Amino acid sequence: MLNQSYWRQSKHHIRNLKSVYRSIQSAKRSSKSGGEEKIKSLHKDYIHKSNSLLKKISSTFHKLTTSETTAAFLKPSHLVLMNIIEKYMGYAKLFIDLIERRVLKGEIIPHSEKIFSIFEDYTRWISKGKAGVMVEFGVPVTILKDQYGYILESQIMFSGSDVDVLQPLVERTLEQYPHISSLSSDKGFWSPRNYEALKSKIKMVVMPKKGYLNKSEKERESSPEFKKLRRHHSSVESSINGLNHSGLDKCLDRSSLGFEKYVNLSILARNIFTLGKQLREQEAKRLQRKPYTKAA
């Protein structure tokens, strides 16, 4: 459009950058002495080449967006692509900064500053703490289930933790089902604020406390009703596992809105499955009954 060629050697630039990246990977696997200094040197080269390429991209992008001659040829589809390019330029600047801080300066990067996916930037690092599956990448989902196995409400945690979402989750559920008399959760949801807030709304709150228990707390958690409801809490794990079999094991839609749709459709499918299972059990019991015979 500008009658000039800026990216005649684009393939060469990409191959050159990939070559340095592969050299870094090989150096990390090597056990030879002086490996750390070599890794830092390669990272400096990688950063230098990345900055040079990014500068060239920025220059071309500026000419495309500011030239009056170019503006006449731009279509809506071109503008969409340019927005995508601008987004990835921002990612490049961020990752260059993270490499400099982590590798060259030895900083520990907090999770809040990391991006685990450039396609789904809402992806989170989930520490499972289980044997074989220590870490997962995804988005945590909290569900609230009734005693019959139906999922009443859910909360997708694009940010925050279990402690942060419990109160709004329960409040939304109480708006639809105001006669809930008990609530059971695990220790991950415990906080004094959560317990006091929910205790004023629900008769029996089964929420094991983290850490040290005083005398009154030990009595509360040792009561027969507390133990009974806490044992029932384990059944929620079957519903969570059931969601994975109802379409939530992998989200194929690259957007937060698509993820929300997957979650809601999986919950709907799970509830329909639960209803069908209960109807089959009722029908099986009906067929097992002996026919009534009238005495002579």
Tell how strand 204-206 and strand 182-184 pair up: parallel
User: Are the beta carbons of 229 and 182 closer than 8 angstroms?
Assistant: yes
Q: How far is CA 62 from CA 56, 66, 223, in A?
A: 10, 6, 70
Flag whether pLDDT at 151 surpasses 90. yes
- Across the chain, where does the E strand assignment appear? 124-130, 133-138, 141-145, 151-156, 182-184, 204-206
**149 — alpha (psi -120 to 50), left (phi > 0) or beta?**
left
Q: What is the pLDDT of residue 100?
A: 93
Q: What are the tens digits of pLDDT across the range 179-215?
A: 898 998 888 889 889 999 998 899 998 888 888 888 8
Q: What is the pLDDT of residue 47?
A: 94
All domains in the chain, ordered by first residue: 10-113 (no CATH), 124-284 (3.30.420)
Query: Residue for token digits 């990246």?
Result: 21
Flag whether pLDDT at 22 surpasses 80. yes
SS3 126: strand
What is the C-alpha separation between 100 and 44, in angstroms, rounded?
8
Q: What are the tens digits of pLDDT across the range 138-150?
A: 888 999 999 888 9
Q: What are the tens digits of pLDDT across the range 51-63?
A: 999 998 888 888 7
Q: What is the pLDDT of residue 232?
A: 78
Q: What percent of the chain has pLDDT over 70?
A: 90
Q: Which helix (H) or strand (E) holds 147?
A: none
Burial tier of 294 (Cβ tally within 10 Å: 0-12, 13-18, 19+) = exposed
The strand pairing partners of 138, in sequence order, are 124
Three-state SS letters, 33-69: CCHHHHHHHHHHHHHHHHHHHHHHHHHHHHHHHHCHH
Q: What is the pLDDT of residue 45?
A: 93
User: Are the beta carbons of 95 and 117 closer than 8 angstroms?
Assistant: no
Flag whether pLDDT at 4 surpasses 90. no
Q: What is the pLDDT of residue 73?
A: 65
Flag whether pLDDT at 72 surpasses 80. no
Q: What is the pLDDT of residue 85?
A: 86
**218 — alpha (psi -120 to 50), left (phi > 0) or beta?**
alpha
Residues 6+ apart with CB under 8 A from 111: 125
Q: What does the pLDDT average to over 250-266?
A: 86
Amino acid at 18: K
Q: What does the pLDDT average to over 20-46?
A: 84
Q: What is the pLDDT of residue 128?
A: 72
